[in-house]
Amino acid sequence: MADGQQWRDCVVTALREQEAALLAEVRDELGPLETAGLAARLQLVRPELAGALAAVFGPQSAALAREVLTTAVRSGIRRPLPLRVRDRQRDVDPSWALSQQAIGYVCYVDLYAGTLLGLLEELDHLQELGVTYLHLMPLLLPRTGEDDGGYAVADYERVDPRLGTMADLEQVADALHARGISLCVDLVLNHTADEHPWARAALTGDPAYADRYLSYPDREQPDAYERRLPEVFPDTSPGSFTWQPEAARWFWTTFNSWQWDLDHAAPSTFAAMLEVMVQLLDRGVDVLRLDAVPFTWKRLGTDCQNQPEAHLLLQAFRALVRLAAPGALFKAEAIVAPDHLVQYLGAHEVQRAECDLAYHNQLMVLLWSTAATRDVGLAVHALRRLRRPPTGTGWVTYLRGHDDIGWAVSDTDARAVGLDPFAHRRFLADFYAGRHLGSYARGADFQRNNATGDVRTSGTTASLCGIEQALDEQDPVLLEDALRRFVLLHAVLYAYGGLPLLFSGDELGQRNDPDWAARRKAGRDNRWMHRPALDRAAAKLRHESGTLEARVFEALQQLGTVRRQLTALRGDGSVEVLDSGDPGVLALLRRHPCDHPVLVLANFSEHPRWVATQVLDGRTLPVLASEPAPVVTPDGALLPGLGWAWLRAEGLER
């Protein structure tokens, strides 16, 4: 990495000068109170901004610092008043997303409600679930044809006209805010669509845009990079470079051939991306989900993921967004190995403000692994080894999202518990594709990589849990197990620590969409099987007791209701993975200084299991929530098959 030290002082000087000029410019408009606040913020972010920009942009950093500081400060004072009021509220409670009251929901606008304005009519459903955080999947104008579910953006300033307009998005944000729901949208910053005007301009050799993308005249550099680059979509989009005859150059395309990686070493890319962020935040977006952040920086001889500069870029954006939209949060989408994960929350050798939230893909993978093996050993080992998020940051926890499940079990963790890493990952893919004898799952392989043997998995929560199989076979015993497993997984999800995200359709136990291949622009991408349109008929059944939909929906409502009352379950409390004494039972102790601890027990086996008295401190701990109810005595607790319980562990000493 470039040692920015020699540039850092120049950047600090440039920032100080620019700050003084900007403060003088805005003082009258802002008044003394707001000016003092801004001055304090400027001082607070200056060291990190200077350090990050200097290290990434070296000799170009001082000029860039002046430019982006100006953008951020001027946007900050132009920010709509209601959003500035919101910023103030967030100042009072900056960790709102980690509250035990926070529950998230993720959906595609069209699949959930048709359009943005249609969404306004469907908010009661979310409120019944206790949702306080809504992630709307990509909604900006995508390229024509296949668009990777909107992750190929052709215009950051326009909403996909099929969904509505920017004005509609603002209206949705207002309506959500009025109901106490925050809005999260995607910011795809690693790449644009080939149809984006920047890409078009770069193709024609426009010097103002030529440096925004990474392109090469021949195969020399691409070949050199590809020696270490893993393929993200080996099946449908092999290789990481695409020949563009118009420019007679190879363009860097990590994902699909029509998603062109931006060159984040170019100051103009950074400045342009900051503008994009601020514009979205000024529409009323509260959280930006930063897509594919591990990929933004390339370094020859590496896998071009998780590079130090990728983190520094996030830190610089963070500092600037603190000025432009102080209440906004960053959520990192970094689906990486456990050793790389917590760095996206700013946990480096020294702590840095980076992202506020990050996907806990380890927990997700480990829960599915445990559900398949009925043995908590791997999860216990891997979760204990994971570093805790820095103060003020936390996880988003989830079982399923719109993507496949990549079986990110680290070699070290697998070996530590006596598993062969490759064989275990292969087992999981086989199990969840329903190939394994005795498997209850109905998933499918995603992007089998014949070179590495790597296989990922598609499928909805209900289908992976066994609900689909049990319904097909009309087997009430299997169905009961599948439903218990479904609720058990959510009981851990809601209690583990973090903001739990429900993926649309899961609240009704929706199975894989058998007609996914016929869906608009799905191509061969079978991730569409687990992105079903919300089944409105099923949604009606959620109020008819005795139906599967009601069982699932009520269980999630109940989990939310109890969770909201337990400060110990806050996302910024601690989680300790205990030894339950039984290989089938996961035991977690959740603590927060403002509440009594909560003990979480989850029996992943289909058979009753006994949790010995030591775990319960030799006492009859009160049950806060459970399904089915355990028998708790001073000698221990008997958990039914696939049963779970949250217990109040007042005074539990460990």
In the complex, least distance from residue 313 CB atom to ligand OTU, rounded to whole angstroms? 15
Specify the 3-state DSSP secondary structure of 262: strand
In the complex, least distance from residue 188 CB atom to ligand OTU, rounded to whole angstroms? 6
Q: For residue 140, what is the enclosing H or E element?
A: strand 140-142
- CA-wise closest residue to 449 among 223, 230, 254: 230
- CA-wise closest residue to 270 among 317, 311, 229: 317
Supply the DSSP symbol for 300: T
Please tell me whether residue 34 binds ligand OTU under the rule CB under 6 A. Answer: no
Q: Pick the stretch among 117-125, 327-335, 409-417, 605-613 that binds ligand OTU (CB under 6 A).
A: 327-335
Q: Give the Cα separation of 223 and 425 in Å (integer).
A: 29
CB proximity list for 29: less than 8 A, separation 6 or greater: 77
Please tell me whether residue 286 binds ligand OTU under the rule CB under 6 A. Answer: no
Burial class from Cβ neighbours inside 10 Å (0-12, 13-18, 19+) for residue 133 reads buried
Among 102, 163, 292, 601, binds ligand OTU (CB under 6 A): 292
Could you give the string, one character per residue 246-285, with x where binding to ligand OTU holds by CB under 6 A and - elsewhere?
A: ---------x------------------------------
* Bond into 628 cis (ω within 30): yes
Q: Interaction with ligand OTU in 612-651: which residues (CB under 6 A)? A: none
Q: Pick the stretch among 116-124, 163-171, 330-338, 484-492 that binds ligand OTU (CB under 6 A).
A: 330-338
Length of the chain, please? 654
Q: Pick the stretch among 82-90, 113-121, 286-294, 370-378 that binds ligand OTU (CB under 6 A).
A: 286-294
Q: Pick the stretch among 87-95, 333-341, 371-379, 407-415 that binds ligand OTU (CB under 6 A).
A: 333-341
- 445 carries an active-site annotation: no
In the complex, least distance from residue 447 CB atom to ligand OTU, rounded to whole angstroms? 8
Paired sense of beta strands 636-639 and 499-503, if any: unpaired
Rounded (to 5) percent helix, strand, coil in the chain: 45, 15, 35
Please tell me whether residue 443 binds ligand OTU under the rule CB under 6 A. Answer: no
Q: Which tokens is 506 given?
A: 């899961």
Q: Give the Cα separation of 192 and 364 in Å (integer).
A: 28
Among 76, 104, 130, 149, binds ligand OTU (CB under 6 A): 149
Burial class from Cβ neighbours inside 10 Å (0-12, 13-18, 19+) for residue 121 reads exposed
Binding-residue total with ligand OTU (CB under 6 A):
16
User: Considering beta carbons, is residue 306 or 461 the nearer one to ligand OTU?
Assistant: 306
Please tell me whether residue 516 binds ligand OTU under the rule CB under 6 A. Answer: no
Q: Give the Cα separation of 566 and 101 in Å (integer).
A: 9
Q: Pick the stretch among 289-297, 470-478, 486-494, 596-604 that binds ligand OTU (CB under 6 A).
A: 289-297
In the complex, least distance from residue 335 CB atom to ligand OTU, rounded to whole angstroms? 4
User: Considering beta carbons, is residue 335 or 548 the nearer one to ligand OTU?
Assistant: 335
Selected catalytic residue, list 231, 333, 572, 582? 333
Q: Pick the stretch among 105-113, 320-328, 334-342, 368-376 that binds ligand OTU (CB under 6 A).
A: 334-342
Please tell me whether residue 359 binds ligand OTU under the rule CB under 6 A. Answer: no
Please tell me whether residue 297 binds ligand OTU under the rule CB under 6 A. Answer: no
Please tell me whether residue 148 binds ligand OTU under the rule CB under 6 A. Answer: yes
Please tell me whether residue 140 binds ligand OTU under the rule CB under 6 A. Answer: no
Asked if 488 and 399 count as a contact pair (C-beta separation under 8 A), the reply is no
DSSP letters along 436-495, please? Answer: STT-----EEES--TTT---EEE--HHHHHTHHHHHHTT-HHHHHHHHHHHHHHHHHHHH
Q: Give the Cα separation of 584 and 95 in Å (integer).
A: 34
User: Considering beta carbons, is residue 11 or 187 the nearer one to ligand OTU?
Assistant: 187
Q: For residue 82, what is the enclosing H or E element?
A: helix 81-92
- 333 carries an active-site annotation: yes
Please tell me whether residue 335 binds ligand OTU under the rule CB under 6 A. Answer: yes
Q: Interaction with ligand OTU in 370-399: which residues (CB under 6 A)? A: none
Supply the DSSP symbol for 20: H
H helical segments located in 93-131? 109-113, 116-119, 123-128
Asked if 282 and 77 count as a contact pair (C-beta separation under 8 A), the reply is no
User: Considering beta carbons, is residue 210 or 272 the nearer one to ligand OTU?
Assistant: 272
C-alpha distance from residue 292 to each of 149, 186, 322, 344 (Å):
14, 10, 22, 12
Please tell me whether residue 294 binds ligand OTU under the rule CB under 6 A. Answer: yes
Selected catalytic residue, list 263, 282, 291, 506? 291
Please tell me whether residue 333 binds ligand OTU under the rule CB under 6 A. Answer: yes
Among 96, 112, 133, 151, binds ligand OTU (CB under 6 A): 151
Please tell me whether residue 232 binds ligand OTU under the rule CB under 6 A. Answer: yes
Please tell me whether residue 403 binds ligand OTU under the rule CB under 6 A. Answer: yes
Q: Interaction with ligand OTU in 171-190: which residues (CB under 6 A)? A: 188
- CA-wise closest residue to 135 among 430, 347, 333, 301: 333
User: Considering beta carbons, is residue 454 or 481 the nearer one to ligand OTU?
Assistant: 454
User: Considering beta carbons, is residue 160 or 333 the nearer one to ligand OTU?
Assistant: 333
In the complex, least distance from residue 72 CB atom to ligand OTU, rounded to whole angstroms? 26
Could you give the string, one character per residue 337-356, with x where binding to ligand OTU holds by CB under 6 A and - elsewhere?
A: --------------------
Asked if 408 and 359 count as a contact pair (C-beta separation under 8 A), the reply is no
- CA-wise closest residue to 129 among 163, 106, 95: 106
In the complex, least distance from residue 222 CB atom to ligand OTU, rounded to whole angstroms? 19
In the complex, least distance from residue 434 CB atom to ligand OTU, rounded to whole angstroms? 21
- CA-wise closest residue to 440 among 555, 606, 626, 644: 606
User: Considering beta carbons, is residue 405 or 559 the nearer one to ligand OTU?
Assistant: 405
Q: Which tokens is 233 given?
A: 């979509």
Binding site for ligand OTU (CB under 6 A): 148-149, 151, 188, 232, 255, 291-292, 294, 333-336, 402-404
Q: Would you name the residues annotated as active-site residues?
A: 291, 333
